[in-house]
Amino acid sequence: MTPPKLLLPVLMILTQAAAFADGGAVQFRQEAGGFAITVFTSPAPLSAGAVDISLLLQNRNGLEPVLDASVSLLLRAQDSGAEIHARATREQARNKLLYAAPVTLPESGRWNLTITIMRNGERTEAMGTMDVAPTSEMVASYWGYIAFPPLVIAAFFAHEWLLRRRMQLRIELRIKRCEII
């Protein structure tokens, strides 16, 4: 394959990868005390199992990031009452402007999230709810990414087969023309 022909498949693969680059979905944004709090979760859509909860804390007035707070999370399942306590830190986050906490959600359903922020001796709380899907839905949500590479490979082989077939037909046609003359 020549370089221009390779360009399209490479671009398609790179755009698929870019769709996963962030990996987090905004669950809710809320203002509490002197903070604007945005909660992100990964994977998207949120499903039972291993989950990354990230928070962006900003000053309410200027929206500058707050980097010196102590953040704790309490997750409570509405159906079963199961509780998970976690501490969100900047060290656990890939993006150092965020506070992150890895947790394992044992079940699907609605979960209440209580965020407690301690900064300069002041305590601020914010609450929100998150819908957690069953684990099987997660695989179904990525079907496009799973099916894409085999489809591209199949299209490549079909294209190559058609080119060779056309070339072979041209050769046969030239041979027939030579036989007629």
What span, in angstroms and rounded, lies between the C-alpha atoms of 57 and 69?
9
How confident is the model at residue 145, as a pLDDT? 81
Residue 14 has pLDDT above 60, yes or no: no
What span, in angstroms and rounded, lies between the C-alpha atoms of 13 and 43?
20
Percentage of the chain surpassing pLDDT 90?
A: 62
How confident is the model at residue 22, as a pLDDT? 39
How confident is the model at residue 180, as a pLDDT? 72
> Across the beta sheet with 83-88, what order do the strands follow?
83-88, 70-77, 109-119, 122-132
Residue 15 has pLDDT above 90, yes or no: no
Global confidence as pTM: 0.62
